[in-house]
Amino acid sequence: MIIEVKVPSVGESVTSGVVSAWHKKSGEFVNEGEPLFALETDKVSTDIVAEKSGVLETKVPEGQEVKIGEVVGVIDDSKQQLEQNKADKPQQKKKEAKPEENAPPVAAGADRGEPASTPLATALSPAVRRIVEEEKLELQKIHGTGEGGRLTKADVLAAVEERRKPEPSSGPAGKAEEKIEAREVQQRGEGRFVRKKMSPLRRKVAQQLAMAQHTAAILTTFNECDMSAVQELRKTRQEEFTKKHGMKLGLMSFFVKASVEALKTVPVVNGRIEGDDFIQNNFYDIGVAVATDRGLVVPVVREADKKSFADLERDIAGYAARARDGKLKIEDLQGGTFTITNGGIFGSLFATPILNAPQSGILGMHKIMPRPMAMDGKIEVRPMMYLALSYDHRAIDGKEAVTFLIKVKECIEDPTKLPLDF
């Protein structure tokens, strides 16, 4: 029986995705529950598993965009028993080869000019075999790039293209053709620039950022905070914290705690505009921006006001690991009320973050730098960090934004104002 492999629904608002990688190739046997391919959408990347065991035949190449419900492959489960029998059958001892058996096998159909039916040919997928037969390719002259040296469709198409190239001419006409070809290569993106489609996630990020810039009245206010107290507290409590919880006490949990205290002090920053209404959130789900190879994602730490430092560090570390592995779920990214982004881990000293719509505020952390500061009439070198709060000026006034940022600064410079539930 042939089972269709369809692109499943991975979220209510997701209509398409990209087959970013096939974990199994055409002609390979797959077990039920085994990952078949990675589906990358504008929100998450997830592995799609086989519903049945059998032999896989892929229908779309890697990198192709597909719609939800589209058939991307088939599984022939009638071959499941055959594969199982092969695995269970004890290996028979090989007989000594006769002299004539040591000679290379004669290719079936070679005397008629047809493609050789060699062991290499029998390992080809149907699509590759059809191209080989139609183009009468010599398999021995093609280098396979698939698993175990197997020929892929791209290998045989490249061989066909190579064979069709005209011999270079040494005359003036030949040089003119070479110039035209070189120009065409550049236009295709193989020369001085490369044109490629953005990933669904990158397109979504671009749309969200542009939408935020076009719809909100974004303004940024700045301040700086002395990190001495937090650094000293982390230093003195690090060993105890690590032994107790099996993880390090980081910086981000302090800023999540400080942001919650500031949101309680200035509730309007914890709201959003929706049409002609203002929605005031009375819960504290804090988004923490995470940079990945695919783009920026913002998983949400739920009910941050009710969590200890260890809970926050565990949530943040878990989200970061799943984000880098492409295993975040859509619900991990939805429903945040306020966002924190830390450009300091990349060396950023000063920046203006863009709102994570539809939220009204985002806190930007930056690199900790030792700077000379005036302390009680004396110059002292202190570890300082610039803070930036970008906010929607339609909902939040300047006084409220500055009050919020000063509250964050006070909590960081004097951590005793935070619930130190280590």
For residue 315, count other CB atoms closer than 10 A to its CB: 21
Q: Which residues pair with 224 in a beta bridge?
A: 386
Residue 137 DSSP one-character state: -
Closest CA to 355 of 210, 224, 225: 210
Pairing relationship of beta strands 338-342 and 361-365 according to DSSP bridges: parallel
Environment class of 406 (CB within 10 Å of its CB; exposed 0-12, middle 13-18, buried 19+): middle
9 touches 43 (CB < 8 A): no
Residue 393 among the catalytic residues: yes
Task: List Cβ<8 Å contacts ≥24 apart for 122-130.
Answer: 123/27, 123/150, 123/151, 124/27, 124/150, 124/151, 125/25, 125/26, 125/27, 125/57, 125/153, 126/26, 126/57, 127/26, 127/153, 128/152, 128/153, 128/155, 128/156
325, 397, 414, 421: the catalytic one is 397
- Note whether 369 and 383 are within 8 A (CB): yes
How many of the other CB atoms lie within 10 Å of CB of 408?
A: 26
Cα distance between residue 47 and residue 384, in whole Å:
43
Report residue 417 as tokens. 């104002």
Cα distances (angstroms) measured from residue 49 to each of 5, 7, 22, 155, 314? 9, 10, 11, 27, 28
> Which sign, positive or negative, has the C-alpha torsion 11, 16, 20, 22?
positive
Could you confirm whether 245 is annotated as catalytic?
A: no
Q: Active site residue: 143, 245, 393, 421, which one?
A: 393
Which distant-in-sequence residues (6+ apart) come within 8 Å of 24 by Cβ?
30, 34, 35, 36, 37, 56
Question: Hey, is 114 helix, strand or coil?
Answer: coil
Catalytic residues: 393, 397
